Each structure stands twice: as C-alpha cells, then as structure tokens.
C-alpha cells in the first residue's frame, strides 16, 4: 500500500521526520502542517492550526490521509491521538493518558515510584504553597537544587539554582512570569543528580518496544554547558556514555518497566518514548520523560537509521512492531543549532540567511525560518540545524562545523563545543 501521510509540526524535529518519511518507498504523498521552508522541499506544507482538531480532521478526510504523525508534545498532551482514534484514523503518537508522562512531572514521578524506576528524590508543591516550597529548600540546604514546572513549558520550565538566593528568585519568577505561571501551577523540587546526561529513545506499539537510538543533547546556551536552559543547542549520536552495559540497564530498569507499567495501568504507551537520563555512579536514572522525539536529538538519530521510517511507524500503529528490524549505519552524526542572537530570551526575527546553497556535505534541517520571495529569513529562536557525519565523533564534529561556517545571518549564534563531552570517552 502507498500512504498519504499528514505530519503535524513546524520545527527542526519535524523537518527531520519529513525528510525520513519522504525517503520511504511506501509513501504516496506527504503533507506537513504547518511545516517550514525546509519541509516544503520534501512534501507539501499546509496551513492548518494543529491545535484545532476539527480542522485537522476535515483535512484528513478531504485529502484521503491514511496516517497522521504527530511531531510536537502539545497536541499529544491535548489528546489529539484520542480524538483521531475515535474517528478510526491511524495516528502515531501516544494518547493523552500516556502522554502525561511528559505533560505532568508529578504524574511521571509518581508513576516511577510505583514501578521502582530509578529517579531523583522529590517533593511537590502547588503555587499557593510556594512559601512552603521556600521553607523546604532552605531546610534541605543542598545546592544546586532542581526546580521543575509541572506542566509543559517548551523546554524552559527547569531551573537549577546554585544558591538559596537564586532559588528564591526562581520561585518568584515562577509565580509571576506570564509564560511560566500556568505550567508552574504545581512545582516539583528534586535532588540534583551528579553524572552525565544522555537520551535513549524507544518506539513502542503498546505491547512491545524497540530502542531507536541514543544521543547527547546540549541544553545550555553557553559554551561548557553554562547559562540559561534552551530547547537544545546541538546533539550527537551515538553517545559513548551510553555503553552497551548502560543500555542494557536502561532497557531492563527503565524502558521495560515503563512500557509494561503503562499497559498494566490501562494506558498502553504507543509512539516514541524519550528517556532523558542521568548516568550516575549508581547507574542510569530518569531525569524526565518526553512523549515524542527530542529536538535536536531527532536530527541526529533519524539520519543514522537504515530502516524505512514510514514502515516502522505503520508497524507501530498496527501493533506489529515486532515484525520490523531497526538498524543503524556505523557513522556518527553531529548536529549544531544556529540560533538568533539573544535566544533563549528576546531576539529579533526577519534576518536574511545566506550560504544555505553552499552546504554540500551536511544535512540542513530548518527550524525557525520563513520564505519571502527567493530569500530565507530567520523566524524563531532556534533557526537551523546542521547535521554532519563521520567515521568517528571527532570527524563528525569537524565536518559539521566546516559546513556551519558557510551560513550567515545578522547576530547568528552557535556553540562551538557541541560533542566535546563525548570526546572524553
């Protein structure tokens, strides 16, 4: 069968998904809503509001869509998979109850506690009791401490204050910030875990699962992992810190009990499960779950896959995941994010981007861009993802930065140390 596919989303992750799906021999037509100038090169962008489920459903019917793939977390946490399932329409992405693993930090922590999944110790407070939260932080007296807004905050709801004064400032910001106070109606306070972060991704049909890659993301804006948290400034895959022994433990102690636990509780988890991990002295522990591919980790994982991504997704929606093989090439991929100057705080849009046609030895995934006439302009905080390859990590890093340097726009910013952590291994 040839599939008409609708992919929801507009970022770098969605361009990577569109790029992978477009290579499938099973694809008839690919639509991306709303997409970006990069996705327009591999499919047809359509102007839909992905938060308007009725509008999405009308488009599905009018265009004989056989499968909908959901890129970002918000529609999943809002229940789009449930909505489309009531229409008997195949959708790739977990249902609302399962997506709560990302939608509520408190839900995730309680789930992990019930199923003995290793994670940091924690306590939850609601916004009316931030005075109690302040007292709790002072009583613990351990810094750094981790403060997490319970709800979705676009990757910007986690704070790691290093002093009591900083912690009090964060509490004040979470109470008053227009962009955060809804997400922080409840607050999770966690112990700070010492180790190295990595992400392991699994794909599940609700019954079985397969690991679909691992990566290391670089969340902070500044070199050497300093400064504010961002949606991610770069990534590489595979991550040497995820050794075979560690991966075995991640599967046994984290992925397996998560998939079986969700099924036991009547909320089978079907879709991509992102396990954000801290590799500690005691072993891997969960920092957070996400209910979709990471961004920019997706951009380094999908180019390594030798499997047909559309066929894998279809098998997943048909509960036949155990019939497909997931294999990878033996190259290392490195992704560097070019961002607008000022990101993750205020930044300007509409800067002309030059040099895109000069990038020959890397894959270019668009994130915050728009097209006007023949020009591509900046249209977001994270603008472009440059993904290079190499036989080893150092070669992949060198090849990626050689292509990054060909691209220019006013106040362009990128980190020059993506992947350096992996070289220590």
State yes or no: pLDDT of 369 exceeds 80. yes
Least confident window among 168-177, 232-241, 283-292, 353-362 = 168-177
Of the pLDDT bands very low, low, confident and very high (cuts 50, 70, 90), residue 130 is confident
Tokens of 31: 């639509």
Residue 211 in any domain: the answer is yes
Q: DSSP assignment of 120-183, as one string? A: --EEEEEGGGHHHHHHHHHHH--SSEEEEESS--TT--EE--SSHHHHHHHHHHHHH-TTTTTG
Q: What local confidence, expressed as pLDDT, does residue 128 receive?
A: 78
Listed in sequence order, the residues at least 6 apart from 86 whose beta carbon sits closer than 8 Å to its beta carbon are: none
Of the pLDDT bands very low, low, confident and very high (cuts 50, 70, 90), residue 151 is confident
Residue 318 in any domain: the answer is yes
State yes or no: pLDDT of 156 exceeds 80. no
Tokens of 284: 């891997």
What CATH number is given to the structural domain containing 255? 3.30.470.20
State yes or no: pLDDT of 131 exceeds 90. no
Average of per-residue pLDDT across 274-285: 97
Instruction: Write the pLDDT tens digit of every residue in 316-340.
Output: 999 999 999 999 999 999 999 999 9
* 249 plus 286 within the same structural domain: yes
Tokens of 18: 């569109």
* 201 plus 298 within the same structural domain: yes
State yes or no: pLDDT of 154 exceeds 80. no
Instruction: Kindly report the pTM of this predicted structure.
Output: 0.94
* 137 plus 224 within the same structural domain: no
Average of per-residue pLDDT across 96-105: 95
State yes or no: pLDDT of 17 exceeds 90. yes
What CATH number is given to the structural domain containing 70? 3.40.50.20
State yes or no: pLDDT of 370 exceeds 80. yes
Strand partners, 234: 336
Average of per-residue pLDDT across 28-53: 98
* 339 plus 315 within the same structural domain: no
* 199 plus 318 within the same structural domain: yes
* 289 plus 182 within the same structural domain: no
Of 279, 306, 323, the one marking the end of a domain is: 323
State yes or no: pLDDT of 39 exceeds 90. yes
State yes or no: pLDDT of 121 exceeds 80. yes
Residue 305 in any domain: the answer is yes
Q: What local confidence, expressed as pLDDT, does residue 389 receive?
A: 98
Of 60, 86, 112, the one marking the end of a domain is: 86
User: Can you tell me the distance from the alpha carbon of 342 to that of 411, in angstroms, rounded to the nearest whole number?
Assistant: 8
* 205 plus 260 within the same structural domain: yes
Residue 74 in any domain: the answer is yes
Residue 112 in any domain: the answer is no
Instruction: Write the pLDDT tens digit of every residue in 72-84.
Output: 999 999 999 999 9
Of 165, 191, 217, the one marking the end of a domain is: 191
Q: Taking the alpha carbons of 297, 303, 305, 309 in that order, is the dihedral positive or negative?
A: positive
Q: What is the chain's mean pLDDT, rounded?
A: 95
Residue 110 in any domain: the answer is no
Average of per-residue pLDDT across 28-32: 98
Q: Reduced to 3 states, what is the DSSP secondary structure of residue 391?
A: coil
Average of per-residue pLDDT across 248-260: 98
* Total domains present in the chain: 4
Of the pLDDT bands very low, low, confident and very high (cuts 50, 70, 90), residue 193 is very high
Omega before 144 cis (within 30°)?
yes
What CATH number is given to the structural domain containing 357? 3.90.600.10
Of the pLDDT bands very low, low, confident and very high (cuts 50, 70, 90), residue 179 is confident
* 228 plus 267 within the same structural domain: yes
Residue 395 in any domain: the answer is yes
* 289 plus 212 within the same structural domain: yes
* 303 plus 207 within the same structural domain: yes
Omega before 141 cis (within 30°)?
no
* 200 plus 318 within the same structural domain: yes
Q: What local confidence, expressed as pLDDT, does residue 160 receive?
A: 92
Residue 18 in any domain: the answer is yes
Residues of the domain holding 40: 3-86
* 177 plus 215 within the same structural domain: no
């Amino acid at each position: 069968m040839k599939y008409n596919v609708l992919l929801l989303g507009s970022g770098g992750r969605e361009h990577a998904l569109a790029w992978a799906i477009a290579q499938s021999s099973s694809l008839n037509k690919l639509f991306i809503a709303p997409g970006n100038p990069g996705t327009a090169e591999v499919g047809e962008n359509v102007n839909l509001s992905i938060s308007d489920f009725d509008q999405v459903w009308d488009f599905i019917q009018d265009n004989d869509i056989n499968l909908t793939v959901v890129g970002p977390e918000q529609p999943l946490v809002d229940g789009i998979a449930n909505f489309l399932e009531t229409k008997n329409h195949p959708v790739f992405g977990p249902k609302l109850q399962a997506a709560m693993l990302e939608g509520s930090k408190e839900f995730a922590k309680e789930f992990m506690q019930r199923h003995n999944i290793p994670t940091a110790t924690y306590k939850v407070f609601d916004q009316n009791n931030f005075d109690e939260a302040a007292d709790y932080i002072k009583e613990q007296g351990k810094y750094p401490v981790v403060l997490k807004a319970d709800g979705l905050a676009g990757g910007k709801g986690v704070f790691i204050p290093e002093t009591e004064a900083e912690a009090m400032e964060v509490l004040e910001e979470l109470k008053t910030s227009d962009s955060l106070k809804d997400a922080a109606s409840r607050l999770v306070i966690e112990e700070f875990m010492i180790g190295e972060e990595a992400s392991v991704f699994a794909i599940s049909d609700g019954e079985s699962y397969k690991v679909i890659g691992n990566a290391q993301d670089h969340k902070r804006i500044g070199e050497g992992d300093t400064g504010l948290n961002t949606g991610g400034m770069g990534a590489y895959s595979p991550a040497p810190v995820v050794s075979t022994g560690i991966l075995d433990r991640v599967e046994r102690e984290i992925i397996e009990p998560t998939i079986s636990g969700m099924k036991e509780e009547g909320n089978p988890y079907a879709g991509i499960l992102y396990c954000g991990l801290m590799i500690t002295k005691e072993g891997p522990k969960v920092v957070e779950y996400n209910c979709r591919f990471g961004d920019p980790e997706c951009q380094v994982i999908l180019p390594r896959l030798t499997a047909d991504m559309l066929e894998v997704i279809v098998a997943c929606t048909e509960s036949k995941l155990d019939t497909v093989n997931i294999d990878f090439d033996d190259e290392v991929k490195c992704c560097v994010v070019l961002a607008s100057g000022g990101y993750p705080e205020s930044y300007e849009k509409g800067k002309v981007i030059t040099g895109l046609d000069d990038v020959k030895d890397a894959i270019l995934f668009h994130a915050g861009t728009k097209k006007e006439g023949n020009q591509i302009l900046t249209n977001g905080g994270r603008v472009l993802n440059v993904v290079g390859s190499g036989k080893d990590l150092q070669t992949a890093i060198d090849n990626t930065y050689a292509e990054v340097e060909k691209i220019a726009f006013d106040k362009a910013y990128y980190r020059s140390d993506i992947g350096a952590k992996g070289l220590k291994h």
